[in-house]
């Protein structure tokens, strides 16, 4: 087989890239290790920045998002019972976010892929990129007991944190930056009306909590748990009891509970690999960087890589601008570090981590107080929450 771009991984990064390239007339094949249902079963954040929403529209898949997604002009932070609103719209001169689950984003992208003429190969085993430094790279994979080969111009590694793409780069060519936080978020999805019409981030002595949602009838709640906690240890009842203890009183009284649809623990990690490219291989999304979930920047930062690579490839194939290839990593990393810094900052402000010194804890409390009490503080939080602009690529 032969194509222009092989995309490894059919998560949101791979699917969105595939769809944008398809729209630009660039042929691509997606190779995914698991089944479509398995991909759709992963529950992740659902807060879309304007830049992400615009990319979905550009890819021709924004219709259901615009119809069913909820536009949010603000969110709340509750600190030991005291609630403050961050008015995103007013503080950013009109910007908002869209609440639309990643599962729905993925479903819309999968449907568009099925309608397009591009090939997707699910349950592709032992995917392996080859000859990355040559003019003729290729990818091999196994399916139905046979080994297949796809020759291509470039390879997009969209295969997440545990994928093969990053591992295919010699380790001496990469630098990894990492912070693993002690603890994670236990998330519960339920068919109950959200306790508040906007998201509420809760900073509490018992630990962080978040009230989020997927729709008017589906809620997503999180509580911070310890590093050794396992999801099986937490019954639904224990979850609701603990959440109520962390909620401001009036919200705890309003909370509607029900059996969970899904429950899982999201680890908290900050991770970046530099550079995000090696010869003909580019890394995108979770393959190159991870953020803790606070602030929902994972999907949005992945989207800015997709924007950068799809824009560069459009210029490479349309205008012969092969000089841009070498700039991919540098352009991506500027915005990646914006997302990393913001997620790290918001995590520190709203959590109490076991490895934070008492001094640092006091500094974070003072900083949160400053943010919530001043217009400039709230503005800085709001501007980053709605998403900083993408770099122009010339």
Structure tokens at 337: 């570090």
- Which residues are within 8 A (CB) of 161 and not within 5 positions of it... i.e. 6 or more apart? 271, 286, 287, 290
- Please say if 293 is a catalytic residue: yes
Distance set, CA 332 to CA 166, 276, 373 (Å)? 16, 8, 33
User: Considering only residues 45, 59, 88, 91, which one is a binding residue for ligand PHB as defined by CB under 6 A?
Assistant: 45
| Residue 47 near ligand APR by CB under 6 A | no
Mask 162-181, x = binds ligand APR (CB under 6 A)?
Answer: -xx-----------------
> Facing residues of 142 across strands?
125, 147
Shortest CB 364 distance to ligand PHB, Å:
17
- Please say if 201 is a catalytic residue: yes
Which of the residues 138, 364, 385, 390 is marked catalytic?
385
User: Considering only residues 5, 6, 7, 10, which one is a binding residue for ligand APR as defined by CB under 6 A?
Assistant: 10
**Length reported for the chain:** 394
- 293 binds, options ligand PHB, ligand APR, none, Cβ within 5 to 8 A by partner type: ligand PHB
Classify residue 2 by its DSSP letter: B
User: Considering only residues 62, 293, 339, 387, which one is a binding residue for ligand PHB as defined by CB under 6 A?
Assistant: 293
Name the CA radius of gyration of the chain, rounded: 21
3-state secondary structure of 218: coil
- 299 binds, options ligand APR, ligand PHB, none, Cβ within 5 to 8 A by partner type: ligand APR
Q: Cα–Cα distance between 218 and 189 in angstroms, integer?
A: 7
- 46 binds, options ligand APR, ligand PHB, none, Cβ within 5 to 8 A by partner type: ligand PHB
Q: Cα–Cα distance between 348 and 356 in angstroms, integer?
A: 9
Distance set, CA 111 to CA 14, 55, 108 (Å)? 14, 16, 5
| Residue 137 near ligand APR by CB under 6 A | no
- Please say if 364 is a catalytic residue: no
**Backbone φ, ψ for residue 299 (5° rounding):** -65, -40
| Residue 34 near ligand APR by CB under 6 A | yes
User: Considering only residues 22, 220, 246, 335, which one is a binding residue for ligand PHB as defined by CB under 6 A?
Assistant: 220
Shortest CB 44 distance to ligand APR, Å:
5
Which of the residues 129, 194, 275, 293 is marked catalytic?
293
3-state secondary structure of 194: coil
- Which residues are within 8 A (CB) of 358 and not within 5 positions of it... i.e. 6 or more apart? none
3-state secondary structure of 270: strand
Stretches 45-53, 150-158, 168-176, 376-384: which one binds ligand PHB (CB under 6 A)? 45-53
Q: For residues 186 and 222, is the Cβ–Cβ distance under 8 A?
A: yes
- Please say if 204 is a catalytic residue: no
- Please say if 72 is a catalytic residue: yes
Structure tokens at 310: 């799809």
Binding footprint of ligand APR on the chain (CB under 6 A): 8-14, 31-34, 39, 44, 102, 124, 127, 158-160, 163-164, 285-286, 298-299, 302
Binding footprint of ligand PHB on the chain (CB under 6 A): 45-47, 199, 212, 220, 293-296
Active site residues: 72, 201, 293, 297, 385
């Amino acid at each position: 087989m032969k194509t222009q771009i092989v995309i490894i991984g059919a998560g949101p990064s791979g699917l969105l890239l595939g769809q944008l390239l398809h729209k630009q007339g660039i042929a691509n094949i997606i190779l995914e290790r698991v089944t479509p249902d398995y991909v759709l079963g992963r529950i992740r954040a659902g807060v879309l920045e304007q830049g992400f929403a615009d990319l979905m529209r550009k890819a021709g898949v924004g219709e259901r998002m615009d119809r069913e997604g909820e536009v949010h002009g603000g969110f709340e932070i509750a600190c030991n019972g005291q609630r403050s609103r961050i008015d995103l719209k007013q503080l950013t001169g009109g910007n908002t976010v869209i609440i639309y689950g990643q599962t729905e984003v993925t479903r819309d992208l999968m449907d568009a892929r099925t309608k397009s003429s591009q090939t997707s190969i699910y349950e592709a085993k032992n995917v392996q990129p080859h000859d990355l430094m040559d003019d003729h790279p290729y990818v091999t994979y196994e399916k139905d007991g046979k080994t297949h080969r796809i020759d291509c111009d470039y390879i997009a590694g969209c295969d997440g944190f545990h994928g093969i793409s990053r591992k295919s780069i010699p380790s001496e060519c990469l630098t990894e930056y990492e912070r693993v936080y002690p603890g994670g978020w236990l998330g519960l999805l339920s068919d109950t009306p959200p306790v508040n019409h906007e998201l509420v981030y809760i900073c509490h002595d018992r630990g962080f909590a978040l009230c989020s949602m997927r729709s008017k009838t589906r809620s997503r709640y999180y509580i911070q748990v310890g590093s050794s906690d396992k999801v099986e240890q937490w019954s639904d009842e224990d979850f609701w009891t603990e959440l109520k203890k962390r909620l401001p009183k009036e919200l705890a009284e309003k909370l509607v509970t029900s059996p969970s649809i899904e429950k899982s623990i999201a680890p908290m990690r900050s991770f970046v690999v530099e550079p995000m490219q090696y010869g003909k291989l580019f890394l995108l999304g979770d393959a190159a960087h991870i953020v803790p979930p606070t602030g929902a920047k994972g999907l949005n930062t992945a989207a800015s890589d997709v924007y950068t690579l799809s824009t560069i490839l459009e210029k490479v194939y349309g205008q012969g601008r092969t000089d841009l290839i070498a700039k991919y990593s540098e352009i991506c990393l500027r915005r990646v570090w914006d997302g990393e810094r913001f997620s790290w900052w918001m995590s520190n402000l709203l959590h109490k981590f076991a490895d934070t010194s008492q001094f640092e804890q006091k500094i974070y409390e003072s900083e949160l107080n400053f943010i919530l009490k001043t217009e400039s503080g709230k503005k800085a939080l709001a501007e980053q929450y709605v998403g900083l602009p993408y770099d122009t690529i010339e």
